Structure 1
Amino acid sequence: MADAAPEFTADTASTDAGSADKSARMEQRKKWLVRLGLAVLVIGAIYALWYLLIGRNHVSTDNAYVNAEIAQVTPLISAQAVEVRVTDTQAVKRGDILVRLDPTNARIAVAQAEADLAEARRRFRQTAATSTSLSAQVRARGADIAQANAQLAAAQADYEKARVDLQRREALSPEGAVSGEEVTSARKAFAAARAGLEQARAGVATARATQGAAEGQLAANDALVSGSTIETDPAVLAAKAKLENARLDLGRTIIRAPIDGVVTRRQVQVGQRVAQGNPIMSIVPLAQVYVDANFKERQLRQVRVGMPATVVADIYGGDVVYHGKVVGFSGGTGSSLALIPAQNATGNWIKVVQRLPVRIALDPRELAAHPLRVGLSTEVEIDLSRH
């Protein structure tokens, strides 16, 4: 019995030690659980505070892409390309020569238009000179009328003399004072005088008609030059317009860059005949790119034009932040403006949250420091608290 007491005492001590260790672990676990709970509460409070102060005043999306108003370069005349000065990815400035077209036909057209203009001016001078000639003809016809009137007066006098002679001889003929031959001669003279009178009257009418025709020609010719100079004549102006158009086509044989940007999708080669109006390349204005952010319709309840926005591009990461502002909303959702719009008029229709493109204009200085390319992915956040 004396040997059993110590063994019992050791077992008891071991059990007590295990219980104490277990209690310590439970106490330690309890402390960690309390700490975890406090941490969760603190994080929750911080999140709630952040949401109340900041989070609820911001909307964001990662469905956003870089876009730009791409300029298409199209020739305004049809001709053969004799020189192509740019390649894809090449940066150009507005006014830089992109392509030279064969100017031969355009130069011939300019020469023809210049000849037509010279001919129009010559015709105007000729018409003006014709008016002077027609005025002289009108004056000459007036002299002809005066001459015809004088001849009419002489014929009238001859007629009166022949009439009186005939009447005198016819009065003396019954008494035998004049012979029949004299009476016959008097009658012939009277008939001749009457014919001469009619002829003189016709001559006056003809002279007057001729004068009227000359006056009509003069009036018609004056109408062509009246109120006009050699430079304001309608025919000359039309010839000038044709010459200007020909010179414009000659200038269009040199195709220049319409904007600053980077050449892309070049589709022209030396020797190729380009067609009027068909695009031969595009120019992307990297300094004027913007972001089209597709927000869910519920996110746009408080978004207004002019609100500030921040943009992060995947190509640079979060180290580069662009600042911009909302400049407008699309006229329709992405699905409604798609090539094949969704058809919801079915019996199994399910409502789908739509996205509306919102345009974000970016700071040009930040774009110059970190250029973007069309189509790059971005993340956009709009600050609703500032307007």
Structure 2
Amino acid sequence: MSRKEQILKQLAARKKAFTILGSVVVLCAVIFGLYWGFYGSRYISTDNAYTATEIAQVTPEIDGTIKAVNVVDTNSVKEGEILVEIDPRDMQVAYDKAKANYDRAKIDFDRRKALSTSGSVSADELTRSENDLAQASANFREATLNLERTTIRSPIDGVVAKRQVQLGQRVRAGTPMMVIVPLLKLHVDANFKESELEKIHIGQKVRLTSDLYGSRVVYQGVVDGFSGGTGAAFATIPAQNATGNWIKVVQRVPVRIQLQPEELAANPLSVGVSMKVRVDTRSD
């Protein structure tokens, strides 16, 4: 083969290689364009997301000694179910005294009111009796309420967590006893980059999966609201950027995503579970 033929063959091979390379580049560009047009520009995703909920704190409203504790951590409870009972004897005595005083004051007032029409009882005396009845009535209502407060019921449906109260313990009003976690009212706090928030709006549909179940369980959520500040703004020790060595860091803003109770009932989640979130920005 002559020198000229070798050169022509090499040029043909190079041309073929460049053609193939160009075709690959064009194909990649087309694939990327299709991806961006149908997916990348439509969906915004993050795995910096966790389940959360508004828990109910259970505390006594009176001082007393614990007579019974009917639940332990992980127990499911219904609204109104009895959680804790405080020894009612002291409150029962106070109730009986208040009721006796009220009954006596009521009888005394009724008698004076009947006599006042004939002039046998002065207006001042009737007024004092009426005031005594009002005071006795208030004391009786307070004693009744305190007696009812010896029975502590669940304020909501949920699961018992952080139980701290023990049988025989002397507690004061406001002492934390436990919390009730409403697992069917969980939401997700998804932390998106501040540069991504422009496309996210309330009402957009969200696809979620959890690390607990993996991709086999998909939750359908809705964007419910935005936090009033970034995570760094609400940190215990907020960042101090007014320094000479300041470096810009992209901040993340929590976005609240509402979950469906029926999906949570079918596949329960716990508070703090990691989630993967994908927002459909064209669904509003």
Alignment TM-score, normalising by the size of structure 2: 0.88
Alignment CA distance shift 1:105-1:335 (3 Å): same
Residue type at the aligned position of 1:127: R
SS at match of 1:44: helix
Q: State the alpha-carbon separation in 1 of the partners of residues 123 and 86 from structure 2.
A: 50
Which residue is 2:67 aligned to? Answer: 82
Q: State the alpha-carbon separation in 1 of the partners of residues 212 and 123 from structure 2.
A: 80
Q: Determine which of 152, 156, 172 is the counterpart of 1:255.
A: 152
Which residue is 1:284 aligned to? Answer: 181
Which residue is 1:361 aligned to? Answer: 258
SS at match of 1:106: helix
Q: Does 1:325 align with 2:243?
A: no
Which residue is 2:5 aligned to? Answer: none
SS at match of 1:318: strand
**Deviation at residue 252 of structure 1 after TM alignment:** 1.3
Which residue is 2:4 aligned to? Answer: none
Q: State the alpha-carbon separation in 2 of the partners of residues 223 and 248 from structure 1.
A: 27
Per-residue CA deviations over 1:215-253 (Å, capped at 9, x if unaligned) read xx835346568xxxxxxx443233223212211111111
Q: CA RMSD in A?
A: 2.6
Q: More helix per residue: 1 or 2?
A: 1
Alignment TM-score, normalising by the size of structure 1: 0.66
Per-residue CA deviations over 1:75-98 (Å, capped at 9, x if unaligned) read 111111111111111111111111
Alignment CA distance shift 1:50-1:120 (3 Å): same
**Deviation at residue 333 of structure 1 after TM alignment:** 0.7
Per-residue CA deviations over 1:274-299 (Å, capped at 9, x if unaligned) read 22112110111110101000101000
SS at match of 2:254: strand
Alignment CA distance shift 1:89-1:37 (3 Å): farther
Q: Does 1:218 align with 2:122?
A: yes
- Structure 2 gaps of 5+ residues are 2-8
SS at match of 2:208: strand
8 Å contact kept, 2:109–2:126: no
Per-residue CA deviations over 1:5-54 (Å, capped at 9, x if unaligned) read xxxxxxxxxx9xxxxxxx9xx97x99898667645543431221121232
Q: State the alpha-carbon separation in 1 of the partners of residues 77 and 180 from structure 2.
A: 8
8 Å contact kept, 1:96–1:257: yes
**Deviation at residue 353 of structure 1 after TM alignment:** 1.0
**Deviation at residue 373 of structure 1 after TM alignment:** 0.6
TM alignment of 1:301-380, pairs within 5 A: 301-380=198-277
Which residue is 2:6 aligned to? Answer: none
Q: Does 1:385 align with 2:256?
A: no
Q: Does 1:113 align with 2:95?
A: no
8 Å contact kept, 1:70–1:282: yes
Q: Does 1:240 align with 2:137?
A: yes
**Greater Cα radius of gyration, structure 1 or 2:** 1
SS at match of 2:215: helix
Q: State the alpha-carbon separation in 1 of the partners of residues 222 and 132 from structure 2.
A: 56
8 Å contact kept, 1:127–1:224: no
Which residue is 2:57 aligned to? Answer: 72
Length, aligned pairs only:
276
Q: More strand per residue: 1 or 2?
A: 2
Q: State the alpha-carbon separation in 2 of the partners of residues 300 and 252 from structure 1.
A: 47
TM alignment of 1:132-147, pairs within 5 A: 135=119
Q: State the alpha-carbon separation in 2 of the partners of residues 370 and 356 from structure 1.
A: 27
Q: State the alpha-carbon separation in 2 of the partners of residues 244 and 31 from structure 1.
A: 97
Which residue is 1:299 aligned to? Answer: 196
Residue type at the aligned position of 2:203: G
SS at match of 1:340: coil
**Deviation at residue 380 of structure 1 after TM alignment:** 0.9
**Deviation at residue 108 of structure 1 after TM alignment:** 0.6
